[in-house]
Structure 1
Amino acid sequence: MNSNLAFNALGDPTRRSIFEKLQQGPLSVVHIAEGMSVSRPAVSQHLKVLKEAKLISLKTVGNNNIYELNREGIIAMRNYLDKFWDDALANFKALAEKTEKENEHLN
């Protein structure tokens, strides 16, 4: 997964709103567009970007296109961010251990 695509996709407030709506469960374009300040065709374009970023997936049920969050894409984003957290914790631990050793030598 290209993390840049995912983060860029969520950089747009309308796409974030759509993404957050889908957190409640799968929805059709009609239901996603309800209450939004953009047209249904605009919603469809935003859905395309989210799908290309692998943040949502599409399934067809009868004549309806149903969109839902793509768990694998979300996990990939989380793993990307976790790397930064893991590195920060490792650096903090190393600094704490170094400070502790330095304090032991002073005493």
Structure 2
Amino acid sequence: MSSMGCRIFHALGSETRVKILELLSNKEMHMSEIARELDISVPVVSKHVKVLEESELLERHVFGKSHVLKPNRKNIHLAVDSFAPTRKVEIEKGASLMEALRNVADIDVRKKGDREMIVSTDGEEGLFVYEIDGQFGDKNVNDCVLEDDTIVDWKKLEPITRIRLDIHVKK
């Protein structure tokens, strides 16, 4: 395992550090705010923040004497993505992404209007998207033709709320 992977596991191995990341998922905060929320001292928060920064799961922005913290969402997602298995598949030039997927996974396809949509992969239902060499795909998997060797990241969109809106309509 890479030293980065070890640092990430070490960082997430503390309930306090996980609580800090949970707090910061809602809004950016100062260390003193975190200390008040968790009912711990600022020096204790500072030690935990240092570990989270070393693992690159947290970002600090300094404004004068104020240190504002926020999660490094990109690295959190990259850390989780590193556990995805890689399956090798060989296809004919010009085959579709759908054909490649059928060679390595049990996929369930349903017709939605005039399109076929993959609704489950290896028994996991959900909404799926793909990236080709790090770029989001803009075509249906049947229309995505593969001409060269490539890396495809097949991703299930998990029900993670980025922003929750509490909307009140004036009467």
TM-score by length of structure 1 reads 0.72
How far is the alpha carbon of 1:38 from its aligned partner? 2.4
Give the structure 2 partner of residue 41 of structure 1. 43
- TM-superposed CA distance for 1:2, in Å, is 1.2
SS of residue in 1 equivalent to 2:74? helix
Matched, 1:71 2:100: no
Alignment RMSD: 2.5
Q: Point out 4+ residue stretches in structure 1 off by more than 3 angstroms.
A: 90-93
**Higher helix proportion, which one?**
1
Alignment of 1:21-100 (within 5 A): 21-81=23-83, 83-84=84-85, 93=106
Structure with a larger share of its residues in strand? 2
Determine which structure has greater relative contact order: mean sequence separation of CA pairs < 8 Å that are 6+ residues apart, divided by chain length. 1
Gaps of 5+ in 1: 97-107
Residue 76 of structure 1: CA displacement? 1.6
1:72 Cα deviation after fit: 2.5
Q: Tell me, yes or no, if the aligned pair for 1:3 and 1:80 is still in contact at 8 Å.
A: no
- Aligned equivalents of 1:11 and 1:91: distance in 2? 34
- Runs of 5+ consecutive residues of structure 2 not aligned to the other structure: 88-102, 107-121, 123-171
Percentage of pairs with the same residue: 28
Give the paired residue count.
Answer: 91
Q: CA deviation digits over 1:35-59, x for unaligned, max 9?
A: 3242110010000000000000111
The one-letter amino acid paired with 1:28 is H
- What's the TM-score, normalizing by structure 2? 0.47
Do the aligned residues in 2 keep the contact of 1:10 with 1:16 (CA within 8 Å)?
yes
Q: CA offset at residue 80 of structure 1?
A: 1.1
